[in-house]
Amino acid sequence: MRNKTPRAICLDILNRVEGAGRHPDRLLTDSFKRYRHFTSLDRAFLTELMYGVLRWRGKLDWVISQFSKTPFEKLESEIVTILRIGLYQILFLTRTPVSAAVNESVELAKKTRGKGGGGFVNAILRSVLRQREEIPYPDRLEDPALHISVVQSHPLWLVRRWIAEFGVEKTSDVCATNQHIAPLVLRTNTLKIGREELINKLIERGLSPAATSYSEEGIVLMDPPPVSDLPFFNEGFYVIQDESSQLVTSILDPRPGEMVLDACAAPGGKTTHIAQRMKNEGKIYGVDLTVEKLKWIEEGCQRLGVTIVNRVRGDASRVLPIPEGIGFDRILADVPCSGFGTLRRNPDLKWRKGEEDLRRLVELQSSILKNLSGYLRNGGTLVYSTCTIFREENENIVEKFLDEHPEFRLDPIERILPQHLHPFVSGGYFKTFPPKGEMDGFFAAGLIKKA
């Protein structure tokens, strides 16, 4: 086990992401725990390699198809993954010796597919090395959708949908932004420490933190180490959470002593943020589908010192197993969504989800919103939120709900948010949209049940 290289482990992870739909983050964390002898450089290289291949998979596959005499769709999946790993190093990692990129890829192919597999990988990679400045890509003027799809490495169906909704230029900007590595943003756990104090502690450890521009609890880390090497995590001083995600809790605006329902709560980032804003006073019901997800919430609460969360196993689209007669002051419906606003940090999503998933999600989102509305007291606030930029998962869901539920009205977001966040308000909704604000794409709507 100790003899496995970062490249070999990367192959294992990518095979499991591709074959079993496993989440790369968790597989990476498990690998770091298993291979504790890895240096910080090994961990950084494995992280870069794994996310780089996922981020640029479409472009890498295009290159493979240009150099392979065998049609791409007929290539063995493991050989394709090995080629992606090798090509990513050749095309994107300028400090990695090309000899190491080629030779180790060939060895991986020999171990898994024999001498023939090794020879095939060797031939493709060396051909790319000789001609990498002359690789042909689709012409932007002739077919803008295909050009963006290949050059910015997004599925063609997704690019076409975004062009239809946003136009070519905006789609190109969004796709280009998605290919950047997202900043590492922390949310200070103000139940234990203030933001300035935490910033100073991080500086003392040799890190380069800065206060975020929009979230009053956020800290962005410049050139951060691997997440596994971050200090003060076990002390519960922070949560890793994008700035736009932090702002959703500001829109919910929970108060100490209130009764709050957080549906679809796992992994618990927003649940614990709500508890923070409530100063650990009141009661939160955190609902999710599985025991495993509820365990994530429990672990987060224990680490952060949150004591007001009741974890409930339930389906947010159906009757919930909570005491009868509770009328919640506030409900957060952070619904399952396509996640296409978070592709900078979750590049695997664009390859795992398709148009059929989108249709299924829209039905689920409508069901959840309708069901949760019945648990809100008169005069209470329900916030519907997603981490996607598709109108059909956002405005369309809310508008349909309001048409069918006259007892609710839209609460204009600008009424709640401070002035510096008003640029992200449009039509009464909160919307962050890459690349604006250096944040993930998020949507939120506040709905008030009339008294």
CA distance 183 to 60: 24
- Burial group, residue 97, by CB count within 10 angstroms (0-12, 13-18, 19+): exposed
387 noted as active-site residue? yes
Is the Cβ–Cβ distance between 382 and 449 less than 8 Å?
yes
Plot region of 370 (φ>0 → left; ψ -120 to 50 → alpha; else → beta) = alpha
**How many other CB atoms sit within 10 Å of the CB of residue 404?**
11
369: buried, middle or exposed (CB in 10 Å: 19+, 13-18, 0-12)?
A: buried
Residue 419, Cβ neighbours under 10 Å: how many? 7
Which helix (H) or strand (E) element contains residue 146?
helix 144-151
Distance CA 29, CA 34 (A): 9
Please state, in angstroms and rounded to a whole number, the distance separating the CA atoms of residues 301 and 276. 11
Of 10, 301, 337, 387, which one is the catalytic site residue? Answer: 387
Query: Cα(342)–Cα(399) distance, rounded to whole angstroms?
Result: 24
Helix (H) or strand (E) holding 411, with range, is: strand 408-411
C-alpha separations of 437 from 177, 417, 434 in Å? 11, 16, 7
Of 288, 284, 287, 286, which Cα lies nearest the Cα of 328?
Answer: 284
- Return d(Cα 241, Cα 276) in angstroms, integer: 14
Active site residues: 387
